[in-house]
Amino acid sequence: MAKVSLIIPSLNEEGGIGKTIKEIPRDFVDQIIVVDGHSTDKTVEEAMTVLGPNDNVVIQKRDGFGGALFDGFDLAQGETVMIMDADGSHNPNDIPKILSKMGPNTLVLASRYAKGGRSDDDTFVRKLGNWVFTKLINVVHGVRVTDALYLFIAISRNDFKRLDLKNHGFGVCIEFLVRAKKIGLRFEEVPAIERARLHGESKVSAFRDGLKMLKMILKKY
């Protein structure tokens, strides 16, 4: 059985996903799973040219960003499961640091706002929104994190199952933290430097997805 499985949701990331995959340190990642959300460009073909024999490219079956994660988890063979963006904004060189913090009952999160981290791709609106959501989730749910919306994480396969996640949209970022707190996982943060995306545009709508995530924070679990 592979030790570490890395799930990469993708949607129209031609021109970037190949470079992102090539940067992944394969000494630390045994299986890469690209879950493609029906891209209309050559994302799938580009990914397939750089993936190895133990890796997978699948077309997404469930709806939404959360659905892509669930599809990827179905194929994950590793004891540890990681999630990373396809656009290059998550730096693959941070993977060893993230994995070094793994332990029993632990959720490891990369953070742009932990000491030593930063973002080279932030806008004022994104930074303000993340600050508000992070403060809210910390206060409402007793979580203690510095970057609630940066889903570059590692978690054990068994703990992922225990989370029993339901949200198929970007609200899964919030649900991840709330459910992890609820089942008693220990939070570990690793400072990370968010890079400018290699290609394409963000799939997150600040207004539409922001409202959905606000509802997720205020929801009772």
* pLDDT tens across the length of the chain (221 residues): 459 999 999 999 999 999 999 999 999 999 999 999 999 999 999 999 999 999 999 999 999 999 999 999 999 999 999 999 999 999 999 999 999 999 999 999 999 999 999 999 888 888 888 899 999 999 999 999 999 999 999 999 999 999 999 999 888 999 999 999 999 999 999 999 999 976 666 556 555 666 766 776 777 66
Cα–chain center distance at 60: 16
For residues 27 and 221, what is the distance between their CA atoms, to the nearest angstrom? 38
Q: Which residues contact 18 (CB under 8 A, 6 or more apart)?
A: 46, 47, 49, 50
For residues 71 and 89, what is the distance between their CA atoms, to the nearest angstrom? 22
Cα distances from 221 to residues 163, 183, 218, in angstroms, run: 12, 11, 9
Please, are residues 165 and 70 in contact by the beta-carbon 8 Å criterion?
Answer: yes
Query: What confidence score (pLDDT) does residue 124 get?
Result: 84
Which secondary structure element, helix H or strand E, spans residue 111, and what is its range?
Answer: strand 106-111
Class (C level, CATH) for 4-218 = alpha beta
* pTM greater than 0.85 (yes/no): yes
Cα distances from 9 to residues 106, 138, 142, 179, 189, in angstroms, run: 23, 27, 29, 21, 22
Query: What confidence score (pLDDT) does residue 115 get?
Result: 95
What is the gyration radius of the CA atoms in the chain, in angstroms? 16
Query: What confidence score (pLDDT) does residue 98 get?
Result: 97
